[in-house]
A and B are shown apart, each in its own frame.
Chain A
Amino acid sequence: MAKALIICELKNDKPVKASLEIASKAISLGYETTAIVMGNGNDIVQDLSQCGVSEIIVGKTQNYSGESYAHLISAVIKDNNFELILMPHTWQARDISGRISAILQTSVISDIVELEIKDNKLVAKKPIYAGKAYAKLASRGKYKIFTVRPNSFEIIEKKSQPQTREISVDTSKNKTRREELQSSRADKMGLTEANIIISGGRGVKGPEYFPVLQELADLLGAALGASRAAVDAGWIDHSHQVGQTGKTVSPTLYIAVGISGAIQHLAGMGSSRYIVAINKDKEAPIFKVATYGIVQDLFEIIPELKTQLKALKG
């Protein structure tokens, strides 16, 4: 049985959902699957044993370091001859996958949304031009490494009793020093991993309305997004921008508030599973991609939405 390695990412000491998604994918493709995870978490084994991995390698460390993670993971891949390597396409994958590519002298195929075996090849599909088109491609390397966009694959429950072993993480040779910022909102949901995103656009008319949308986002456990128009106007930080020059996202639910739907924005969120659009202009292009649309002033809809959601969530 060919072997796969999934690089499991933690948030608040728990595996992120996307880690379980890729484990399920590797297993459903018929691979004997090992998970490697860096950090400290009591629930790691418990959570990963729900999706059928046969082995867990834990690198005990307190500090995140893309550089040392990449070297360690590369060594593990080499030593164990993993054929397929998957990791969630999050910030961390962006920080380590390129390094692994160089260390193992092989290509990494990034931000894939589909993976299948066809004519004995692992064929992946990935959005290009922020989602205006897709490329289908395969890896010719000995190690086939892919980063996978969160929410692309289903989690398939399958209980297992994985063996666990620990390895040490050496961060002493790091070429950078990292300090976390006190003001960091690391507890907040990041856009690329979010299951639900609420985004505001030009229609929200000013910076003061984003805290209102943030409250709505908190109610739903959602991440806060924005259109380029809102970011360019200085109403909200660029890290929230969805679209071709911001983040490309595929949440289960995308709620566009006061966003008309410029081509760059539609590219960046058009692969969301369901889209809700709230805009008073019925000609707005966003309605062409919306699952549900409400043509009305957002300043009337949003307060009502908040009231009813509060009632629903108790």
Chain B
Amino acid sequence: MNILVLIKQVPDTEASIRINGNKVDESSIKWIISPNDEVALEEGIRIKEKNGGTVTVISVGPERVVVSLRTAFAMGADNAIHIKADEYEMLDSYAIASSVAKATENDKYDIIFTGRQAIDSDNGQVPLILGELKNCASIIWAKKVEATETEVKVNCEVEGGEAIYNASYPVIITAQVGLNEPRYPSLKGIMAAKKKPVETKNIADLGIKFNEGIEIIGYELPPQRPVGKIIESESTELKVKELIKSLHEELKVI
């Protein structure tokens, strides 16, 4: 079974975001594999370990994303493709998905995994765009994946509930944190990862440009929240009474 996993390199969840001029300041950011993508990679590796086959990882971005591809090697990926894009725009899902479709147009994959959404753009568009471009089934928000020789059964989170999706291959599945516990790369894996070759494709050679469909006007930080009020009545009963009064009579939200 051949598996492709899309991984996106994003700022660490602990990172504070700073804006410099009209750009996000990347100078002090620590980069990680987006957590949902890491879970997708782990799921792909587990299916490979059970059913045989290969796991190929692919990532779009500037030179720095090679580090994440090496982390994927260390976890157990067999092949890696870097779509090199120096003028990378993390918000442009259409360009990212199109470049992945183009770069893999001659390859056959049974399952394509990726995260539900990357934690930088929070778009969640790429997997479904790719699914349509590759004309294959797309299943989102997996909570459990059972892959047999001929088909896959996926328990999915849906709005306020759960559903089961069945599909034949090829299929695209999006994973989310909670589906599994991603492994830590072993020391042996890390050493071996250094020697494995990363295949590089230049995004311009694939005929894809960023920001053709969207125009980035600028970035800003969230507004400061107004100073709140600590309720300091004498008793528990009075505190709760004051809270309910404020929510019910003043703000009219309950």
Contact = CB atoms under 8 A, between A and B. Distances in A.
Contacts of B205: none
A245 B35 contact: yes
Interface stretch (A24-32, A180-188, A205-213): A180-188
Given A132-B222, A176-B167, A293-B230, A98 B159 contact: no
B219 A134 contact: yes
Nearest to A94: B124
Interface in A281-306: 282, 287-296, 300-301, 304-305
B104 interface: no
B196 to A, nearest CB: 28
Q: How would you classify the secondary structure of chain B's contact residues: helix, strand, loop or mixed? A: mixed
B159 A193 contact: yes
Interface string B95-139: 001000000000000000000110111111111111111001111
Which of A98, A108, A180, A270 gathers the greatest number of chain B CB atoms within 10 Å? A98
A271 interface: yes
B213 A294 contact: no
Contacts of B187: none
Given A132-B17, A287-B228, A291-B229, A99 B161 contact: no
A79 interface: no
A293 B162 contact: no
A107 B225 contact: no
B94 to A, nearest CB: 4
Interface string B230-254: 1100001101110110111001011
A305 B242 CA distance: 11
Contacts of A123: 217
Nearest to B152: A176
B218 interface: yes
B243 A305 contact: yes
Which of A129, A137, A248, A308 gathers the greatest number of chain B CB atoms within 10 Å? A129
Contact of A177 (B92, B161, B166): B166
Nearest to A111: B122
Which of B124, B167, B244 gathers the greatest number of chain A CB atoms within 10 Å? B124
B68 interface: no
B128 A102 contact: yes
Contact of B229 (A98, A241, A293): A293
B55 interface: no
Contact of B94 (A106, A135, A223, A248): A106
Contact of A128 (B91, B171, B212): B91
Contacts of B133: 102
B16 interface: yes
A290 B228 contact: yes
A30 B165 CA distance: 40
Given A180-B163, A271-B222, A304-B237, A231 B243 contact: no
A268 B92 CA distance: 22
B164 interface: yes
A97 B121 CA distance: 15
A175 B246 CA distance: 51
Interface in B150-192: 155, 157-168, 171, 176-178
A90 B93 contact: no
Which of A185, A239, A305 gathers the greatest number of chain B CB atoms within 10 Å? A239
A189 B160 CA distance: 6
Given A110-B123, A176-B137, A270-B222, A90 B159 contact: yes
B213 A138 contact: no
A110 B138 CA distance: 18
Contact of B220 (A70, A136, A178, A188): A136
Interface of A: 11, 66-67, 70, 90-92, 94-99, 101-103, 106-111, 121, 123, 126-141, 175-181, 183-190, 192-193, 196, 220, 223, 231, 237-239, 241, 244-246, 248, 252-253, 263-264, 270-271, 273-276, 282, 287-296, 300-301, 304-305, 308-309, 312
